[in-house]
Amino acid sequence: MSAVAKTNPDERIEFAPTTAPSQPEPPREAHQPGRPTDKALELIEDMGHSTILTPENNKRVLRRIDLRLLPILLGIYFLQQLDKSTLSYGSVFGLIEDANLKGREYSWLGSSIYLVQLVAQPAIAYTLVKIRLGKFLAVMVFFWGISLACMTPARNFGGLLACRIFLGLFEAGIPPAFIAITQMWYRRREQPMRLSSWYAMNGVVNMFGSLFAFGLGHIKSSLAPYQIIFLFFGCLTVAFAFVVLFFLPDSPMQSNFLNEEDKLLAIERLRMNQQGIETHEWKWAHVKEAFLDLKSFFWFALMFSISIPSGGITTFGPLIIESFGFDQLNTMLFNMPFGAIQLVATLGGAWLATRYKTKGGVVALLCLPAIAGCAMLLQIPRGDAHKGPLLAGYYIISVYPGITPMIYSWAAGNTAGETKKKVTNGILLVGQCAGNVVGPNLYTTDEAPGYRRGLLSNLAMFCVLVVLCALNMVYIAFLNKRHEKRRVAMGKSAKIVDRSMQTVGEPETDLDKTEAGERVDDNAFKDLTDFENEDFIYVY
């Protein structure tokens, strides 16, 4: 259903919608002449009308969005994690010995990729505001595939390090771009499952990547097994870059798989997020606010804390299993259940967060099994008689990957304003990169088979995560109370309904009806930050 636009002299656009029994009037837009606006508002003005969202048309458009976006995002992230894991696969097939890696050199090959990504994040944040996301991702995928393929002839630490640096540089924009795409296309209620779905590719890689690598590693060739692995996955990534280029849209407004009315529906779906969709203006005031926002430091600390164990276990996981007393084939096979548990934990965590509308609580919950698993690996002695309990401890730890997408989603749902969203994502990714730099260096091949220092640090970080979640939830409660006071001071209701966390068509409450009657203007597409927008509701 649509509405006819009426333009009055002060450039305010008002909508006179057709009636719908259970739908409130679409909020009015305010566009000041000469001031950059969200591209969504520009499309509404160009079309001359807004639209009304119903459960039926929402379901139809959401299905079309999922079918176009998710296969591409899942494919990119699958290849990214697979390409990162080639180093650990290579270590099982003799890379350390052939390249004559000494001391911490192998650890630095694992962490160097994240060190480069850490340095690149400020430039990535600025770039993501200024350019189209679809084209950006296609270019990044192409060049990281080239970088991986170039590891094939590298036979020493220097050559491998150079390739890993370029690999890290071109992969640096993938997570922040994915978070930005999720914010741009999905309601806040929908974001945890979508973020977790592409991040769950880590589990798929751990399940099947080891088998792919084992099969490739046994091809008879003049190349070493790990060289075949580098070359094959590098070329596969380059080929997939063209799929991204031709099929991944830049934004809802620029998509070619949605007609004009469906584009309006895609925009209307996101109105209640109060986060905007797309502008290309860099605002230094947003940058300042991001760095003065205490939440930004919580996101940094949370990502740093989870990335220390993540970086260490990702790089040393196969070697930890091998230290239990398994050969190459069994090491690869026994790494598969780790991926299966990781997949279940990631999607299960997203379901819990959606069902109970809490991400901080789910993060704390997922830390508990990981704490128990670390304790088991620290206490159980190595030896053939203890292989079963050691594997059980290792598998229990494998729930931890479900934590990272929850933090992504938690940060994404609590930040508004185009520039602030990108800067906050950058801060979050800096914490992730820093943790991934530190993590592998807490493990060294010299400490095999116990890897005690690495496991102790992982145990400590999981405990720290629980405390950080509690503190962040207290701060978010404070921010919601502060916005309530601002709304009262402006003559609005203290309590408003966060429809972005509801299903479309959910029965109205008395609070819904009060809000619909009192709210006049809508801040959704004014590119306001979450601090500036009194209607923004923070999520736990």
Nearest Cα neighbor of 421 from 239, 314, 289, 243 is: 289
475: left (phi over 0), alpha (psi -120 to 50) or beta: alpha
Contact 524, 278 (CB under 8 A): no
In angstroms, the CA 86 to CA 91 distance is: 9
Other beta carbons within 10 Å of 227? 22
4: enclosing H helix or E strand: strand 3-7
pLDDT over 50 (residue 172): yes
Mean pLDDT of 33-54: 68
CA triple 253-189-395, angle to 5 deg? 115
Least Cα distance to 410 among 468, 458, 370 occurs for 468
Instruction: Identify the weakest region by mean pLDDT among 4-18, 102-116, 358-372.
Output: 4-18
Kindly report, residue by residue over 342-364, the tens digit of the pLDDT: 889 999 999 999 998 899 999 99
> Closest by alpha carbon to 199, among 82, 307, 74?
74
Per-residue pLDDT of 437-477, as tens digits, reads 888 778 876 777 778 888 899 999 999 999 999 999 999 99
The residue written with tokens 């991986």 in the block is: 148
pLDDT tens figures, 263-309: 888 888 888 888 777 788 889 999 999 999 999 999 999 999 999 98
For residue 470, what are the CA distances in angstroms to 298, 302, 474? 11, 11, 6
Residue type, 493: S
Alpha carbon distance 313, 403 (integer Å): 14
Is 58's pLDDT higher than 60? yes
Higher pLDDT, 15 or 206: 206
Instruction: Give the pLDDT band of residue 312 (cuts 50, 70, 90).
Output: confident
Q: Which residue would you say has higher pLDDT here, 410 or 512?
A: 410
Q: Which residues contact 374 (CB under 8 A, 6 or more apart)?
A: 309, 393, 397, 455, 456, 458, 459, 462
- pLDDT at res. 268: 86
For every residue of 140-176, DSSP letters joined together read HHHHHHHHHHTTTT--SHHHHHHHHHHHHHHHTTHHH
The contacts of residue 205 (CB under 8 Å, 6+ apart) are 78, 81, 82, 85, 339
Specify which residues 3 forms β-bridges with.
17
With 50 as the cut, is the pLDDT of residue 8 above it?
A: no
- The residues pairing with 521 across neighbouring beta strands, listed in sequence order, are 28
The CA distance from 203 to 196, in Å, is: 11
- Domains of the chain with bracketed CATH: 67-276+286-478 (1.20.1250.20)
